[in-house]
Amino acid sequence: MKSKLFSLIVSVLAAMCLWVYVMTVVNPDVDLTIGNIPVTFSGAEVLREDHGLVITGDYQEFVSVHFYGKNADLKTLDQHKDELKAVIDVSKVRSTKDYTMSYDITLPSAVSASSITRMDKTPANITFTVERQIRKTVEVRGDFSNVRIAEGYMLDGTSFDFDSITIEGPESIVSTVDHAEVTIERSNVDKTITESVPFVLLDKDGVQVDPSQLTLSADAVEVTMKIVKYKVVPIEVQFTEGGGAKIADLDWDYEPKAVTLSGDSTVLDGLNAIQLEPIDLSALPSNDETVERTILIPNEAKNVSGEETVSVRITIKGKQIKTLRTTNIVFVGVDEEKFKATSLSQQVQVTIRADAADVTRISANSIRIVADMSGYTQEGTYQVPVTVYVDGFDSAGAIGQYSIAATLAAADEPAE
């Protein structure tokens, strides 16, 4: 039993020694095929920077090589195969066209070139394209169609930290890019969003362009979506009675009846109506008028409806208009101890509005022109605003504003 074990050990040792002898002494010629060797270009950087040319095309990125040499050398080569490269020298390329060129195999530092007796390359040559490198600036656009704003809020505007992106690369690719697009998807948004969003490059048909061969001025765009509260605020029309017309005499309507405002909730929550500048009925020259009024809103709010004015249509019912000339001019407020007032206007033409039943009975004698001189304290000639009274007819009133030319002179000295 012991002799058998001894014999087995001797046999194993003999086999190992024989293997070492064969590998280290005999070292026969063998061959080895290595694939997935990457293709690289020597001089590509100079080609791009000095001549504005770049390598493109769907060229073969990996090659396979059948190596011949001694067993030990090829074993070392196999152990360092990740260092192998297929190098194409493009340092002398100067024009844009398709090229078919051979390549050199760069061996690992652990393997000498003399130890490889032969190399069969597959493929033997590489075809690639050289074209101009160009630069282009494209607009940044946003797709916010999948952003859902919360009830009572609205999108007030969007902005980007970059309005455009500069792209650089092969002309055949850069020329197809139409714009850069960012996309945001959100739901129930009730406050302003600011975030950095990656973008894609699209052609004019909306098809995505592969950016792998391009240099971009940015990788993402900071997008701000301003979200504000909005409120529909009713508009109120106001009237000042006069000129023989009262609010009860009116048929009226107006558009728009409300306006949509956006802004901070502290402003909108306390705003329940927008009141227009009052319409003075005494200024309406006829019984059927349309008056425009500007919609005035708080400075902190924004009118998002687009309407800036309100059109008010007014009909004064049961009234007629009449024009009269009167000489009944009266001065009040004159310091008679110092001054005497005289009208240079001999008569005043007045237009009045009154109930239909009263108009026929109103005459020039019914009209009284009153000039208040209390604000005039020096001698001279003045254009003095006057008030028109229609005595005895409560339904009547003057239409428009009137004035007369008046002289304020020194009072006559009392007789001795």
pLDDT digits (tens, 9 = 90+) for 118-148: 999 999 999 999 999 999 999 999 999 999 9
Query: Span 263-279, mean pLDDT?
Result: 90
Overall domain count for the chain: 4
Query: Closest by alpha carbon to 379, among 332, 342, 326, 350?
Result: 342
Q: Comparing 47-61, 93-107, 116-130, 377-391, which segment has the lowest mean pLDDT?
A: 47-61
Three-state DSSP at 373 gives: coil
Identify the domain containing residue 111 by its residue range: 26-123
Q: Comparing 21-25, 43-47, 269-273, which segment has the lowest mean pLDDT?
A: 21-25
Q: Tens digits of per-residue pLDDT, 150-208?
A: 998 988 889 999 899 999 999 999 999 999 999 999 999 988 899 999 999 999 999 99
**Domain co-membership, 277 together with 335:** no
Query: For 150-190, where are the E strands, in sequence order?
Result: 153-160, 164-170, 179-189
Cis peptide upstream of residue 170 (ω within 30 degrees of 0): no
The pair of structure tokens assigned to 90 is 């493009």
Q: How high is the pLDDT of residue 182?
A: 96
In whole angstroms, give the CA distance from residue 258 to residue 307. Answer: 10
Query: Span 225-234, mean pLDDT?
Result: 92
CATH number at residue 61: 2.170.120
Domain boundary among 104, 123, 142: 123
The torsion angles phi and psi of 262, rounded to 5 degrees, stand at -125, 155
In whole angstroms, give the CA distance from residue 119 to residue 103. Answer: 12
Query: Closest by alpha carbon to 383, among 401, 397, 396, 364?
Result: 401
The pair of structure tokens assigned to 24 is 């280290």
Asked if residue 4 belongs to a domain, the reply is no
Domain boundary among 229, 261, 288: 229
Asked if residue 54 belongs to a domain, the reply is yes
| pLDDT at residue 2 greater than cutoff 70 | no
Asked if residue 221 belongs to a domain, the reply is yes
| pLDDT at residue 8 greater than cutoff 80 | no
Q: How high is the pLDDT of residue 300?
A: 85
**Domain co-membership, 219 together with 172:** yes
| pLDDT at residue 355 greater than cutoff 50 | yes
**Domain co-membership, 324 together with 299:** no
Q: How high is the pLDDT of residue 392?
A: 94
Q: How high is the pLDDT of residue 5?
A: 62
HSE-up (13 A, CA, CB side) for residue 378: 1
| pLDDT at residue 385 greater than cutoff 70 | yes
The pair of structure tokens assigned to 170 is 């092969």
Residue pair 347/382 in contact (Cβ under 8 Å)? The answer is no
Q: How far is CA 302 from the centre of its chain?
A: 16
Asked if residue 222 belongs to a domain, the reply is yes
Q: How high is the pLDDT of residue 27?
A: 81
Q: Per-residue confidence at 14, pLDDT binned at 50, 70, 90?
A: low
Longest dimension (CA), the chain: 178
Domain boundary among 279, 296, 317: 317
CATH number at residue 350: 2.170.120.30
**Domain co-membership, 220 together with 263:** no
Q: How far is CA 271 from the centre of its chain?
A: 28
Mean pLDDT of the chain: 91
Residue pair 223/263 in contact (Cβ under 8 Å)? The answer is no
**pTM, 2 dp:** 0.58
Q: How high is the pLDDT of residue 267?
A: 85
Percent of the chain with pLDDT strictly greater than 70: 93
